[in-house]
């Protein structure tokens, strides 16, 4: 467990360094993610200790943004005035995005014999 966590932290540190020195507009953890993804592709498999820790953290990723999200209480008066517009915007935005993404794939990707379909 500690070893897996260490592997994640090493990539996070590398990402932060790259963000500070080379690519300031990209968040360090995202660069760390890309570096780890590249390493996994090069390696061709996921080291078991890394997989164990990564899966646990990803499964509970939602826990990690509760502290920031709770700041919503500071926005409540402003939010109340704009609630209708925001809900409509979020709903249309996600619906249009799902439809467009799905349709682009449906129109542009060739059908393969082993593609499974929803019935």
Partner 1 sequence: MNMRPDQAPIVEIWVYLSGSPLFALTLTLAAYSFGVFVYERSGKHPMANPVLVALLIVTAALVGTEIPYKTYFEGAQFVHFLLGTGTVALAVPIYAGWRSLRGRFGVLMLAVFAGGLTSIATGVAVLTLLEADQSFLLAIYAKSVTAPIGMGIAERIQASPTLTAVFAVTTGILGAVFGRFILNAAGVSAWWQRGFALGVASHGIGTSRAMSVHPVAGAYASLGMGLHGIAGAVLIPLLIQALMLLR
Interacting positions 38-57 with partner 1 (CB under 8 A): 40-41, 46, 50-51, 53-55, 57
CB of 18 to partner 1, least distance (A): 12
75 binds partner 1, rule: CB under 8 A:
yes
Residues whose CB is less than 8 angstroms from the CB of residue 29 and which lie 6 or more positions away in sequence, other chains included: 12, 15, 16
103 binds partner 1, rule: CB under 8 A:
yes
68 binds partner 1, rule: CB under 8 A:
yes
80 binds partner 1, rule: CB under 8 A:
no
Contact 29, 12 (CB under 8 A): yes
The C-alpha atoms of residue 64 and residue 32 are separated, in whole angstroms, by 18
86 binds partner 1, rule: CB under 8 A:
yes
Among 2, 21, 109, 113, binds partner 1 (CB under 8 A): 109
3 versus 97: smaller Cβ distance to partner 1: 97
CB of 19 to partner 1, least distance (A): 9
Q: SS3 for 19-87, per residue?
A: HHHCCCCCCHHHHHHHHHHHHHHHHCCCCHHHHHHHHHHHHCHHHHCHHHHHHHHHHHHHHHHHHHHHH
């Amino acid at each position: 467990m500690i070893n897996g966590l260490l592997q994640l932290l090493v990539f996070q540190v590398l990402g932060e360094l790259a963000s500070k020195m080379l690519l300031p507009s990209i968040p360090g953890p995202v660069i760390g993610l890309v570096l780890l993804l590249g390493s996994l592709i090069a390696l061709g498999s996921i080291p078991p200790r890394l997989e164990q820790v990564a899966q646990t953290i990803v499964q509970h990723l939602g826990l990690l943004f509760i502290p920031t999200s709770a700041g919503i209480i500071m926005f409540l008066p402003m939010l109340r005035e704009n609630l209708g517009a925001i809900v409509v915007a979020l709903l249309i935005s996600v619906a249009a995005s799902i439809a467009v993404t799905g349709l682009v794939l449906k129109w542009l990707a060739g059908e393969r014999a082993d593609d499974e379909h929803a019935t």
